[in-house]
Amino acid sequence: MTVHWSRIAIYAVLIVFAALYLMPIYVLLVTGLKSFGEVRLDQMWDLPSRLRFDSFREAYNSLDSNLANSFKMVIPATLISCMVGSINGYVLTKWRFPGSNVVFFLLLYGMFIPYQSVLIPLVKTLQALHVYGSLWGLVVTHVIYGIPITTLIFRNYYANVPTELVEAAKIDGASIFGIYRRIVFPLSLPGFVVVAIWQFTSIWNDFLFAVTVTSNPAIQPATVALNNMAGSFIVEWNVQMAGALITALPTLVVYILLGRFFVRGLMAGALSS
Amino acid sequence: MARVVYEHVTKRFGDVTAVNDLSLEIEDKEFLVLVGPSGCGKSTVIRLLAGLEPLTTGNIYIGDRLVNDLPARDRDIAMVFQSYALYPHMSVFDNMAFGLRMRGTPKDETRRRVLEAAQALEIESLLKRRPAQLSGGQRQRVALGRAIVREPLVFLFDEPLSNLDAKLRVQTRAELTKLHGRLQTTFIYVTHDQVEAMTMATRIAVLKDGLLHQVGTPEELYFRPDNIFVASFIGSPAMNFVPGTLTGTAEEMTLDAGAWHIALPASRSRQLAPFTNSEVVVGIRPEDIHDPDFLPARVRGCAIQARVDVTEMMGNEKFLHLVSGTEKVLARVDPRTRARAGQDIKLMLDIDHLHVFDPKTEAAIAKIEIPEELREPPSA
Amino acid sequence: MARVVYEHVTKRFGDVTAVNDLSLEIEDKEFLVLVGPSGCGKSTVIRLLAGLEPLTTGNIYIGDRLVNDLPARDRDIAMVFQSYALYPHMSVFDNMAFGLRMRGTPKDETRRRVLEAAQALEIESLLKRRPAQLSGGQRQRVALGRAIVREPLVFLFDEPLSNLDAKLRVQTRAELTKLHGRLQTTFIYVTHDQVEAMTMATRIAVLKDGLLHQVGTPEELYFRPDNIFVASFIGSPAMNFVPGTLTGTAEEMTLDAGAWHIALPASRSRQLAPFTNSEVVVGIRPEDIHDPDFLPARVRGCAIQARVDVTEMMGNEKFLHLVSGTEKVLARVDPRTRARAGQDIKLMLDIDHLHVFDPKTEAAIAKIEIPEELREPPSA
Amino acid sequence: MNVGIRGRRLLRLATSEQAAAIALIIPSLLAVGVFVYGFIGWSAFVSVSRWDSVRPDYTFVGLDNFRDLFENFRFQIDIRNTVVFTVLFVVACLTLGFVLASLLDRRIVGESVFRSIYLFPMAVSFIVTGVVWRWLLAPSAGVNILPTKVGLRALGYGWYTDPSVTYVHSDSRLGEALHAAGLGFLANPNYGVPLAMISVVIAATWQMSGFVMVMYLAGLRAIPEELREAARVDGATETQVLRHISLPLLRPVTLSAMIILGHQSLKIFDLVISMSRRGPGFATDVPALFMFETTFQGNHFSHGAAISIVMLAAVSVLVIPYLYWSLRREARL
Amino acid sequence: GGGGGTATATPGRTVTAAAGGTATPAALSGKLEIFSWWTTGGEAAGLKALYDLYPTACPGTVEIVNATVAGGGGANARQVLTTRMLGNDPPGSFQVHMGHELTDTWVTANYMEPLDSLFTQQGWNSVFPKGVLDIVSYQGKPYSVPVNIHRANVLWYNKAVFQANGLQPPTTFDDFFAAADALKAKGITPLALGDVDAFASVQLMETVLLGSLGADGYNGLWTGATDWNSAKVTDALNTFKKMLGYVNSDHSSLSWDQANDLVISGKAAMTIMGDWLHADNKAKKFTDSGWVPSPGTSGMYDALSDTFGLPKSAPNRDAVVCWLKVVGSKKGQEAFNPLKGSICARTDCDASLFDDYLQSAMNDWKKDTIVPSLAHGAAVKQGWLTNVSDAVTAFVADKNAGTLQSRLADACKSATVCK
Ligand SMILES: Nc1ncnc2c1ncn2[C@@H]1O[C@H](COP(=O)(O)OP(=O)(O)OP(=O)(O)O)[C@@H](O)[C@H]1O
Ligand SMILES: Nc1ncnc2c1ncn2[C@@H]1O[C@H](COP(=O)(O)OP(=O)(O)OP(=O)(O)O)[C@@H](O)[C@H]1O
Ligand SMILES: [Mg+2]
Ligand SMILES: [Mg+2]
């Protein structure tokens, strides 16, 4: 094989960019491994004098129950989001009715509201629903504000699932629910992966709703606790960064494990309208 | 076990009228083939019957039941799709069993019926596979099997062979014909391939732009097309059309069509006498143009001149792409012909197989007879 | 203006050998058609030539130039894809002009050549449209036009007709033949449809599993196939094959094949004598099985018995799906036959058109002659 | 509106399975109806009220709040910032995403590793991104001192602390030309680029370009290979193939990405909060932050609501044509 | 629709609890939610010390819920608090700065209960200085219990740097600029500033205004008595502008504590910051720090105070009232303040519990003129402060004192204090 300079150049560019993309993570990691005294802005690139996981331990100790809260909220919220989006997408592609495009438009438009502007009515509404101040309140909030994006993704995804399958099942005697349960749902995995990743990440990373809806530290999600690690007083950057890494870990794991399916799901039509 | 009746059925999609005032009775146990060019509304016709689209106006009956508002699942029909629409996440067995399960058939019976159908279609060995692991032909059989196990009142087929290669298509065609004989059920079959229509149908319905153009047996459509469209659509390669004029009277009519000057025999002259001095369109099938050296004995020929443009060897026959006057004409002759590209040659038209149409209405004004040997007894 | 030479060309994709040690010389101005079943490597053969895939081993020459390492853009070839691969975001004009522009042809000349080609293909009126606004046939012409304007050394076609309907296909076939005559350039054409191969090729190359099975004129392949695969692949409907045994000596050989007991005439006996007492496979084309009532004069028949399973009316001929002993056999007979499904009937085999193969090697052991009338002078 | 006909059509539908379909979507519609449209309505209502303390006051004051808003110097800066940020961010993400995708599309060994690396920042929250980049772009640390590690001089960029705004000065050649053309008002910092914003763009691009890359990658993979092959046979070089074939065919992807990025940038909040806040002289201030502070710091509820209504209107201008276009296009297919 | 309009309703659940008025010594139970933005360090420790005192002072089984929201110098906390109050879900008690942040925001809006009977009962009217009582009161009634006092007008300097350069800590603006020039010539940043949070620059301006206009002039700014357009204000703002010429260039990227790092490391010599900086020095084990009142403000105590109040519909009202007692008690304040690094709002705390700086502050507290801090919500209502803060942010970048002055004047006008 002849060596092609153009290929070498391509790899070089890719590697340089990879390094640039990893730079922030390097800083997070290195700072997290330092002691408080070592943390100085002008020494941020230096490796820690010795490996110490104290900051991680400390961060973890102050975050662990909140991480559990996050999971308790994110998992049901993501699952429900997926189901709701999937059902909406199913109806909007396979059971179209007069005005279904308008309905889709109305649902989708919700994606674009600035969330800071709805906090006050949100709290009142959640109170009326008796879920304010609980993780379920957060679940409800995230599921509802997730409807636009999940519906969009599933609608685009289902547009590429042959309608003949649904028709064949209709003729075979299945009802609207039967078709969903036995035909459409089992074929939805790539769509679910995309939606799950998307929702998991954005719900997990949300701070605004979390801090607004839950005030009891015992039930607050990790993002709020992480934020509280930086008081108005001294910021222990090493612990802060360690905490940031710990908090980001679940989403990173999700991306690394499911990244392949994410791309595949996107290729299968999710998000390409 | 069911007649199907379309009564003034119309279906519109927005501005498009996909089916236009269709009235059609399909007898029990018939093998009706709907043909027509792409977009003519064939699929819509059977999708209306299946309950996959709501009617705009009109009525549809299955047996004696008006089914206009019946959901698909209650119509007791089965359908084979062009794409087969096999459930990709289910095994072949589950694909075939799905319809029975949905109807709550007992497990034992489901199993029995699936196995039976699989046996009949010789796909028992595939029952555990997924559709993705099957070849095109195997998928086609599974789709067929899925329809058969249901034992429905009516079978619908939407171009089920168009994804198969030529060889498999020939074979499956014959199998479908046998299946129909065995099941003794009404088949309604959509295709745009007139060969399929000719070979399998007990009756063919020709559709164009949502309108029904002619319904009849394959022989009727081949020999006695109602209009230019049917004439051109049935038969392959397609009929040649040449504009011309009729002159003369009673026993001695003459047909002038481009470079052709054809004296008609008495029998045909009589038939065409009313149209003397009219413009007409003459239709002649490629197989009715013969090389004089290999003229079959039964044929009454009439000589014409033409230049050979291209020749195509087909093994047991040869296509001659001819130019006669300004008209392009295709002839399908004995392969031993000595005609070569570029030559001017003499050819014989089968004078008893000249079709004549009105150029304005496009309707046939003089039909030919179906050769006696081909008139099958009604219930062959 | 270019010979094309494949010299021991092999192409592997991982474990799959798509092309296996192919050596093939294609003369300048030839119309070579590559046929073979799906997946046999046809596309790969021309993609290697186009420079779209790198060779694994071997050499390819265009003209006298070794092109193994030349990028596609420098090979001066044009290719028409099955999907046409029209650039959907460009007008027809831009599609056709693209290749010229990439080569820096001056604007004027680009314009002139595109218009010329468009005129020749009768698509001038479409030049401003986008591909999405064209019918299948129109797209096909644009793809053709895009190739023509380039005036390349070699034209490559990858199943360009397979997305057209039957009628258009017939028509375009003839046009391609004429185009080849007009352009006087090398055409290499891939198809899995043997009809296309038979009708257009000056020579046909038959491929299977990456291996070249036979190269020859259409007549050679039809009448004198080298092996069972070629025999079954060329001709439609396909040749029937029946296993049998040869007995007897010299002048008086007998062929026992299933229910058939065929006494061979002297000429064929002599030819087959060396194989007496061997197992053989007998091949007979459907068109060589005749209804005795309509036996053409030239045919030396030999009677067999068979039961009619299904009949298919094709207009000017009729297919009989027969069962003879345990063998399924297809016959293509005069449409006036009185044979009906379910009957036991007598049929005549054309004894001069029996093909005989070795069941192990599958090679032909006795070829028949090409009928004299079909032996065209080399440069017809 | 022909409500009667619609209603009857719906009634007829109610007899079929369509009723079940509609029933399935009604909960979502209701939820969105309340949580989106109800709340927007509430905001709109507040935006024309006099509510100016923590005690609601729904006295109608017409469009006064909007007038105040557009006269507010900070809001004017914010509009400029948002435009600058949106343009830079969208362009940067699209460019980088496309470049990376087109490189990765060339049968790269280790593609999935690269892809994961480029994509993972999306998993990180904007808040963490902000904190890290605040470090990385700190003038006395981070990227600026990176060259010192190899013995070079430290860089002197101010990054997000740089208060300068690059704009056309009235006395420059271009400025005079603008004046001459009657566009003199453009020669003003209000139509300039605040340099500090570039740092925020860098951080945001780091986070989102991987996602754009994946979208492009999926888009590239969806372009039939034959089109590119046809272009190669037609004599195009790889660059020409990219330029004349791939790029035009990716237009729908580009548009989708632009919408996703565009609406994100109009709503950007977390990142700015944790990275640079309002920045020097509001150089990195954005409407969402302004609204947040106006509402919850200043207790100007009506003004806050007015800002959100303006933001929503801006997003709508961007999005509604797109949605209309894509739904129309779909209907055509 | 997002139904507003019901915000004034008092939920029924608190009616019975409210009947108690002053505490009945029955055992307390249930949850008590204390809302603050004290999440880390000394302030969190101080808060915890108060919590620890609670069970002894208030017997029962009350479970304290420590609802904290950090970030943005209390901005996040304020958002959450506002949302909750408007949503009729007040915490038991919440941290709020004394002054307008309390009165204009919550008291005038009728969200708070007056605490006059509690103050009388506990005798607090005599232990808190009059100035403080005035600031926490509205129409004569106190509405919250101050727990600490911070001073905003302190100039902190690095003693070693000053010594090495033979400088004296400046007390006037002239001294300040002279010293600054000297330091600048040496390549030392004279004044460290970290105003990533806008309050730091606002607070700097406030000390300049105070130093230039004097206590009365300064107080007059918030009542309309001092004309914002006057030449004296112009001078003050120009001084402020001049001062900004001596700050570190990356000030807008730093928080106040990061600015302090510059002083600690000797890269900068001074910083003007509230006395919470002293706790930062202690945590960073920096002992070489000196302090003087910021230029021109000797004898003036620019004060801010964290206080706790009683929301009207607070759940578990009795427990809250008892919490307020803890907060106002001598024991409570003595436990809290040494940890937090502030002095007691009460005047009777034991000085020996405090370190040297705090002791000096306690002295000043007793004798100085007390003025309310602008940047921390004591002097003006929040809407006004937001406008001031916006004007200052813009000024720090564009240095246009004229614009600043007119914007400040406008802010006063739109707060309906000036005409
Ligand atoms: N769901 C639909 N919405 C709008 N128009 C439709 C729809 N289905 C079919 N049509 C239109 O109705 C007409 C008939 O379509 P139909 O599918 O029945 O044709 P067809 O004869 O089956 O064609 P083909 O051979 O291509 O399958 C066409 O013009 C088609 O565009
Ligand atoms: N890019 C590729 N990677 C891996 N295998 C390939 C590739 N291209 C072709 N093959 C394999 O090489 C063999 C020959 O493929 P090729 O496309 O040449 O067949 P073909 O004769 O053109 O078939 P068809 O009629 O279906 O187009 C097949 O087994 C195919 O799976
Ligand atoms: Mg169809
Ligand atoms: Mg191929």
Residues 6+ positions from E372 with CB-CB distance below 8 Å: E98, E99, E100, E135, E219, E222, E302, E303, E304, E378, E379
Q: Are B319 and B237 in contact (CB under 8 A)?
A: yes
Band of the pLDDT at A234, cuts 50, 70, 90?
A: low
Q: How far is Cα B159 from Cα C165, in angstroms, rounded to an integer?
A: 14
E strand or H helix that includes residue D11: helix D3-14
Buried/exposed B20-41: b ≥16 CB within 10 Å, e otherwise: bebebebeebbbbbbbbeeebb
- Chains A and D: 3 or more CB pairs within 8 Å of each other: yes
Q: Which residue has its alpha carbon closest to ligand 1 atom 4? A: B13
Query: Which of D67, D161, D195 to substitute to test the interface with E, most E CBs within 10 Å?
Result: D161
**What SS3 string covers B31-80?**
EEEEECCCCCCHHHHHHHHHCCCCCCEEEEEECCEECCCCCHHHCCEEEE
Residue type, E326: V
Q: Which residues of B touch A187 (CB under 8 A)?
A: 88-89
Q: How far is Cα D171 from Cα B191, in angstroms, rounded to an integer?
A: 77
Q: Are B3 and B26 in contact (CB under 8 A)?
A: yes
- Chains A and B: 3 or more CB pairs within 8 Å of each other: yes
Buried/exposed E117-142: b ≥16 CB within 10 Å, e otherwise: ebbeebebeebbbebbbbbbbbeeeb
Q: How far is the CA of A117 from the centre of ligand 2 (A)?
A: 57
Q: Which residue has its alpha carbon closest to ligand 1 atom 12? A: B18
Q: Are C204 and C33 in contact (CB under 8 A)?
A: yes
Q: Which residue has its alpha carbon closest to ligand 2 atom 6? A: C13
Q: How far is Cα C20 from Cα B274, in angstroms, rounded to an integer?
A: 69
Q: How far is Cα D195 from Cα D159, in angstroms, rounded to an integer?
A: 7
ipTM here:
0.83
Whether residue B77 and residue A172 make contact (CB cut-off 8 A), yes or no, is no
**Can you list the residues of chain B whose pLDDT is less than 50?**
378-380
Q: How far is Cα E48 from Cα E28, in angstroms, rounded to an integer?
A: 19
In order, the DSSP letters of C102-150 are HTT--HHHHHHHHHHHHHHTT-GGGTTS-GGGS-HHHHHHHHHHHHHHT
* D183 touching A (Cβ < 8 Å): no
* C98 touching D (Cβ < 8 Å): yes
Q: How far is Cα D215 from Cα E224, in angstroms, rounded to an integer?
A: 59
Whether residue A171 and residue B78 make contact (CB cut-off 8 A), yes or no, is yes
Atom of ligand 2 nearest to the CA of C36: 21
Band of the pLDDT at E353, cuts 50, 70, 90?
A: very high
Band of the pLDDT at C376, cuts 50, 70, 90?
A: low
**Cα dihedral across residues E253, E259, E261, E267: positive or negative:** positive
SS3 assignment, position C350: strand
Please state the pTM of the whole predicted model. Answer: 0.85
Q: How far is Cα E314 from Cα C323, in angstroms, rounded to an integer?
A: 96
Q: What's the mean pLDDT when you consider all of chain A?
A: 87
Q: Which residues of A touch D161 (CB under 8 A)?
A: none
Please choose, from the candidates C50, B72, E404, A51, the residue with its C-alpha nearest in 3D space to the C-alpha of residue D234: C50
C307-337 pLDDT, tens digit each: 999 888 877 788 999 998 888 899 999 888 8
In order, the DSSP letters of E391-417 are HHHHHHHH--HHHHHHHHHHHHHHTTS
Kind of pairing between the strands at B355-357 and C355-357: unpaired
Residue A239: its pLDDT value, please?
Answer: 84
Please choose, from the candidates C351, C355, C359, C375, the residue with its C-alpha nearest in 3D space to the C-alpha of residue C367: C355
Whether residue A230 and residue E40 make contact (CB cut-off 8 A), yes or no, is yes
Residue E4: its pLDDT value, please?
Answer: 33
Buried/exposed E204-224: b ≥16 CB within 10 Å, e otherwise: bbbbbbbbbbbbebbbbbbee
Atom of ligand 2 nearest to the CA of C192: 25
Q: What's the mean pLDDT when you consider all of chain C?
A: 90
Whether residue D114 and residue A177 make contact (CB cut-off 8 A), yes or no, is no
CA angle B88–B90–B96, rounded 5-degree value: 105
Tell me the angle at which helices A237-267 and A5-32 cross, rounded to the nearest 10 degrees.
Answer: 140
User: Which residue reads 């899925």 in tokens?
Assistant: B146
Residue A229: its pLDDT value, please?
Answer: 76
Q: What are phi and psi of D157, to 5 degrees?
A: -65, 145
> Does pLDDT of C83 surpass 50?
yes
Q: How far is Cα B64 from Cα B4, in angstroms, rounded to an integer?
A: 8
Whether residue A186 and residue B146 make contact (CB cut-off 8 A), yes or no, is no
User: Which residue reads 């290499």 in tokens?
Assistant: C188
Q: Which residues of B touch C222 (CB under 8 A)?
A: 313, 315
SS3 assignment, position A48: coil
Q: How far is the CA of D295 from the centre of ligand 2 (A)?
A: 65
Ligand 2 contacts CB of residue C18 (under 6 A): yes
Query: Out of C17-21, C135-139, E112-116, which region has the weakest mean confidence (pLDDT)?
Result: C135-139
Ligand 2 contacts CB of residue C266 (under 6 A): no
Residue E41 burial (C-beta neighbours within 10 Å; 0-12, 13-18, 19+): buried
Tokens (6 digits) for B38: 């792409």
Pocket around ligand 1 at a 6 A CB cut-off: B 13, 16, 18, 36, 38-44, 192
Atom of ligand 1 nearest to the CA of B41: 18
Ligand 2 contacts CB of residue C280 (under 6 A): no
Residue D212: its pLDDT value, please?
Answer: 92
Whether residue A124 and residue E283 make contact (CB cut-off 8 A), yes or no, is no
- In this complex, the residue of E66, E86, E257 whose CB is nearest that of residue A234 is E257
**Cα dihedral across residues D264, D269, D275, D279: positive or negative:** positive
Please choose, from the candidates B132, B142, B130, B154, the residue with its C-alpha nearest in 3D space to the C-alpha of residue B45: B154
> Does pLDDT of D7 surpass 60?
no
Query: Which of D225, D227, D234, D332 to substitute to test the interface with C, most C CBs within 10 Å?
Result: D234
Atom of ligand 2 nearest to the CA of C190: 22
Q: How far is the CA of B39 from the centre of ligand 4 (A)?
A: 28
Q: How far is the CA of B140 from the centre of ligand 3 (A)?
A: 17
| Strand order from edge to edge, sheet including E148-151 | E343-344, E148-151, E300-304, E369-372
Q: How far is the CA of B38 from the centre of ligand 3 (A)?
A: 7
Q: What average pLDDT does range A226-241 have in this prediction? A: 71
B36-54 pLDDT, tens digit each: 988 899 999 999 999 999 9
Q: Which residue has its alpha carbon closest to ligand 2 atom 20? A: C39
* C113 touching D (Cβ < 8 Å): no
Task: List helix spans (H) across C190-296.
Answer: 194-200, 218-223, 228-233, 266-272
Residue type, A221: P
> Does pLDDT of A58 surpass 70?
yes
A239-252 pLDDT, tens digit each: 888 888 899 999 98
- In this complex, the residue of D40, D128, D291 whose CB is nearest that of residue A116 is D291
Q: How far is the CA of B19 from the centre of ligand 1 (A)?
A: 9
CA angle C51–C52–C55, rounded 5-degree value: 65
Whether residue D245 and residue C103 make contact (CB cut-off 8 A), yes or no, is no
CA angle E240–E246–E252, rounded 5-degree value: 85
Maximal CA-CA distance, chain E:
69
Q: How far is Cα D307 from Cα D313, in angstroms, rounded to an integer?
A: 10
| Strand order from edge to edge, sheet including E154-158 | E189-192, E268-273, E154-158, E289-293
Q: How far is Cα D126 from Cα D131, in angstroms, rounded to an integer?
A: 9
- DSSP annotation of E28 reads B
Atom of ligand 2 nearest to the CA of C45: 18
> Does pLDDT of D32 surpass 90?
yes
Residue A232: its pLDDT value, please?
Answer: 47
Q: What average pLDDT does range C272-294 have in this prediction? A: 91
Residue E15: its pLDDT value, please?
Answer: 31
Residue A271: its pLDDT value, please?
Answer: 61
C33-60 pLDDT, tens digit each: 999 888 899 999 999 999 999 999 999 9
In angstroms, what CA-CA distances link A268 with A147, A159, A194, D330? 20, 10, 10, 17
Band of the pLDDT at A207, cuts 50, 70, 90?
A: confident
Taking the CB of residue D222, how many other CB atoms lie within 10 A of it?
A: 16
Residue E16: its pLDDT value, please?
Answer: 33
Give the number of whichever ligand sits closest to the CA of residue C40. 2
Q: What average pLDDT does range D182-190 have in this prediction? A: 78
Q: How far is the CA of B215 from the centre of ligand 1 (A)?
A: 21
Q: What are phi and psi of B17, to 5 degrees?
A: -95, 105
CA dihedral A106, A110, A113, A117 (to 10 degrees): 100
Band of the pLDDT at E177, cuts 50, 70, 90?
A: very high
Q: Which of C9, C43, C208 to mutate to test the pocket of ligand 2 (most atoms within 8 A of CB)?
A: C43
> Does pLDDT of D89 surpass 70?
yes
> Does pLDDT of C278 surpass 60?
yes
